[in-house]
Chain A
């Protein structure tokens, strides 16, 4: 006999105090988790989700099948009208809320990443890569960069221009080498800046640059002539500059709606005023931008996994197997529960990582590694739950799996991020005297 034994029925036998202490309500986890957030983030989370469901989700499958058919700039402007593309900094530059920044510098991007990518990993990345492109202006601590450039770019966006920014560090021969210390010391970098009257002339190639083809602004890192990575300097380029062109756009396994392009620089003149932060300050800016952005990559992975889980759950409710709904099978419930547990663990980690006053290497890399590996597992579990529907594009689950796989690669492969976890705690947990030995 079930009667009286279900949590809700059992609870009803308690007195008021007992009932208040026993929460057996049927409230979905999204709502429960949102309620734990500071008030300012609660409304933001709701707004991100509403936008994602209204504007991103309907385009997701089409954008994956035929990326050029989707108007990324149009979508960017819609997101900008909501204020979502100008919110790294508060007034008088951007529209971030002071109260939000007081709680966490990167909670808002993390919430946004989860919601956007739950709707579509590719379109989500296309919108989020802009924040990454803008991040050096902020993380450099350079007030001129903030007040002159960030303000200008944000104004252009508010005026209705799709002034998208991209972040360019990777080169054909330097991928991991631009993400970790030892590799950087021996990197074969090609992108170099040569001193010229009034500024710098940069030549070289960058690859895999998210939004590279659609961006107007690019924060690009180059070494000074005849020097190594320690001379890396951040420059702000724009597409109007002579000698800067877009090369091939990559054909990828997933996140296909987001462009990843090659940027070719042939003696591009960049005036002094476009140097972001100090000369030779680029490596520090890059490392710190990654500290800010890796938890957001964790949130991207979380969003993709959640999207796959939600679609798998829908499928299990709607599909009958052997004259019973799929959801009624115990093994299916076990699998869904396991996935949900993983998703909750990912979210807990992301929210914990963004709660540090200033993001730092170890926590950021842990979040990125754990969430991306877990998202890949969860999405593949979701495919398996769908059985021989799992590989069908129309359900959006296999797409999520393909999208998730990228999160284990960009912003440093998960192998490089694991090394970053150790490096970040050198002298603390890890006491490795010869860590940097050749």
Chain B
């Protein structure tokens, strides 16, 4: 995808985020006026930022994880996610979840499918990814788009990974709330004894995992960049110690360190997005990014909060929300520890 097209995407997403998402997040409520979320997502669908399995929907090709990512790579999706997260990481996660689910369906049997991939009681390992490890019975943690109507479950089989679909009514599930942050998005626990109906094709959990990890990193970076923008603006205006606080080394160090981390992660993110998607190296780079990227994004967000002192800890400037979102993002599956263990598993790496 050329630079101009990407810029146009970024512009569209930024305009939408500033108008619609900012309005929803507002200033008066802890996590925004969630009653506005369904109509906001409807607009995101109409604008083509959110993806649906329906081939006639505007975002089917070019929305977050729309079909175009299969041929053009993930960059456009990441740009949209980053821009959305600059206003609200929770809304960005909704688009991420909707896109991942939609991409699995060749037929629009559901309007908004959710994707179940992470068994809750199982560690992520190379063996698991290769389908060599039995999936432990138990629930899945699922990122579900609001008003999800069906579920796509990944299951290992002797012929490789397959996908199975279930109607929402066929599964029992519960919302994972109350929780730290990312309140706008659905994070649910799904129990399904029912195997569901298999849909055609084998699946590559590696490709899916890479998409997911890059998406989470983009959301973390966008969220932290939004926090940094607020902190920089505040630091120029807040007077303490006889001057605007951005003239103090203590504050400059916080802002500078945050910027250094975020610039590094962001550059790596978009470089990683250019890579050939099916290679082991590409997956590993996305794992490195998820481990270090979400951590740096979290640290940068925390630095931004510190720049505001006590005011950062209050709901008013939304920095506490951003930090709660960053903390939650960091703990979404797969865990950084599992990814780190996989990265350190050299023997296995040589075999693959």
Contacts and interface: CB of A to CB of B under 8 A. Distances in A.
Contacts of B240: 174-177, 183
A331 B341 contact: yes
Interface stretch (A51-59, A133-141, A355-363, A390-398): A390-398
A321 B241 CA distance: 52
B185 to A, nearest CB: 12
A44 B180 CA distance: 35
B327 A383 contact: yes
A388 B309 contact: no
A302 B85 CA distance: 33
Interface stretch (B6-14, B116-124, B164-172, B203-211): B116-124
Contacts of A413: 306, 309
Contacts of A170: 310
Nearest to B311: A175
Contact of B180 (A65, A177, A402): A402
Interface string A250-277: 1111100000000000000000000000
A384 B326 CA distance: 13
Interface residues of A, number: 54
Interface residues of B, number: 47
Residue from the set B122, B250, B305 with the largest chain A CB neighbour count within 10 Å: B250
A61 B319 CA distance: 23
A419 B327 contact: no
Contact of B331 (A319, A386, A402, A419): A386
Contacts of A394: 178
A335 interface: yes
A116 to B, nearest CB: 20
Interface string B129-150: 0000100100001000000000
A435 interface: no
Nearest to B241: A183
B327 A410 contact: no
27 contacts: A65-B178, A170-B310, A175-B309, A182-B242, A251-B30, A251-B315, A252-B314, A253-B315, A254-B313, A321-B121, A383-B180, A383-B330, A383-B331, A384-B331, A384-B335, A386-B331, A387-B335, A388-B176, A388-B332, A391-B179, A391-B181, A391-B187, A393-B178, A393-B180, A401-B327, A414-B306, A415-B254
Interface of B: 30, 118, 120-123, 133, 136, 141, 176-182, 187, 239-242, 250-251, 254, 298, 302, 305-306, 309-310, 312-315, 320, 323-324, 327-328, 330-333, 335-337, 341
Interface pairs A-B: 10 shortest CB-CB = A186-B242, A253-B320, A415-B250, A390-B331, A183-B241, A393-B178, A391-B180, A398-B180, A251-B315, A391-B179
Interface of A: 65, 170, 173-177, 180, 182-183, 185-186, 188, 207-208, 250-254, 319-323, 331, 335, 376, 380, 383-384, 386-388, 390-394, 398, 401-402, 405-406, 408-410, 413-416, 418-419, 438
